[in-house]
């Protein structure tokens, strides 16, 4: 199950990336927003991040105007490793090295074609484990000061 959430700045791109996900057979839980009306990104990003953190959703995709606010908000939720990505290489590495469980995209930063490739890389790339697992564990221990 893929969690999807956006604010007004990410709404158009959210609808764009949702379609191929459904066509590829992914189950999608859409946490909104569902219009271009101005809203507050934490209201939509946090429930999606909580669903990923709890295991209810396997991965999550967040979209706001820049991707920045959504990524910062998501990373406040315990257990979330949200990578703010504007290129395919970073999306791939966010999985291989960081075991990212969410990505954040900027609706006014990446175009439709690039966004779809970023999402594919995020969903299709496996975590490499090994030395990266040790580092991920170190990162997650930062949640327990
Ligand atoms: C909304 O204007 C904008 O601030 C938001 O979409 C996001 O980009 C914040 O980081």
* Of residues 80, 73, 76, the one with CA closest to residue 41: 73
107 lines ligand 1 (CB under 6 A): no
Task: Give the three-class secondary structure for 61.
Answer: strand
Give distance in angstroms: CA of 71 to centre of ligand 1: 11
Give distance in angstroms: CA of 90 to centre of ligand 1: 21
pLDDT at 145 over 90: no
pLDDT tens column, 113-144: 999 999 999 999 999 999 999 999 999 999 99
Task: Give the three-class secondary structure for 67.
Answer: coil
What integer is the mean pLDDT of 9-15? 98
- 82 carries an active-site annotation: no
Q: Is 68 exposed, middle or buried (0-12, 13-18, 19+ CB in 10 A)?
A: middle
Rounded to the nearest angstrom, the gap between the alpha carbon of residue 94 and the centroid of all alpha carbons in its chain is 11
Of the candidates 6, 39, 57, 64, the residue annotated as catalytic is: 64
pLDDT tens column, 26-42: 999 999 999 999 999 99
- Atom 4 in ligand 1: residue holding the nearest Cα: 65
pLDDT tens column, 43-73: 999 999 999 999 999 999 999 999 999 999 9
Query: What's this model's pTM, rounded to 2 decimal places?
Result: 0.97
């Amino acid at each position: 199950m893929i969690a999807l959430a956006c604010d007004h700045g990410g709404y158009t791109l959210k609808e764009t990336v949702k379609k191929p996900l459904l066509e590829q057979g992914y189950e999608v839980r859409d946490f909104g927003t569902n219009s271009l009306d101005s809203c507050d990104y934490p209201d939509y990003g946090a429930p999606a991040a909580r669903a990923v953190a709890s295991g209810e959703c396997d991965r999550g995709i967040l979209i706001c105007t820049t991707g920045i606010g959504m990524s910062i908000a998501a990373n406040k939720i315990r257990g979330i490793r949200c990578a703010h990505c504007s290129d395919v290489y970073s999306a791939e590495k966010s999985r291989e090295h960081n075991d990212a469980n969410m990505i954040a995209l900027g609706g006014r930063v990446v175009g439709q074609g690039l966004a779809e490739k970023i999402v594919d890389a995020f969903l299709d790339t496996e975590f490499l484990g090994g030395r990266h697992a040790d580092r991920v564990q170190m990162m997650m221990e930062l949640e327990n000061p």
